[in-house]
Amino acid sequence: MDNIIQNIQGIPLNHYLIFCSIIFSIGVIGVLIRRNVIIIMMSIELMLNSVNLLLAAFSAYRGDASGQVFVFFIMALAAAEVAVGLAIVIMVYRNTKSVDIESLSKLRW
């Protein structure tokens, strides 16, 4: 375990931060520009996982376990969220025969 932490600390913290910010931004851009619901959900997962990675890095640098525990919370709740989300996507697919969000534009102001 100490070995892993030393390996993590071998890379400067800023690199983790920049790397995670880039992944997070890719996720955000994916949500904003993609039209396929499944790909949007994948982009959201990317956002959450970049957060997980950053938490693990911070936690290793500070020698504080609570950050890693938080990662488990995020994983568990993200799984619950995706389970509900996929059920919603299937429900929508049964009605519209499509997973494109353009097919859902009945409610407009």
Q: Which residues bind another protein (CB under 8 A)?
A: 17, 24, 27-28, 31, 37, 40-41, 44, 47-48, 50-51, 54-55, 58, 62, 64, 66-67, 69-70, 73-74, 77, 80-81, 84-85, 87-89, 91-92, 95-96, 101, 104-109
- CA-based torsion, 92, 94, 98, 104: positive or negative: negative
Please report how close the Cβ of residue 42 comes to another protein at its closest, in angstroms: 11
Q: Report the residue number, 6 or 104, with the smaller CB distance to another protein.
A: 104
Please report how close the Cβ of residue 77 comes to another protein at its closest, in angstroms: 5
Please report how close the Cβ of residue 3 comes to another protein at its closest, in angstroms: 23
Q: Report the residue number, 6 or 96, with the smaller CB distance to another protein.
A: 96
Kindly report the backbone phi and psi dihedral angles of residue 5, in degrees, each rounded to the nearest multiple of 5, phi listed first.
-60, -40
- Bridge partner list, 36: 100
Please report how close the Cβ of residue 88 comes to another protein at its closest, in angstroms: 5
Q: Report the residue number, 19 or 85, with the smaller CB distance to another protein.
A: 85
**Torsion on CA atoms 56, 61, 64, 65, rounded to nearest 10:** 30
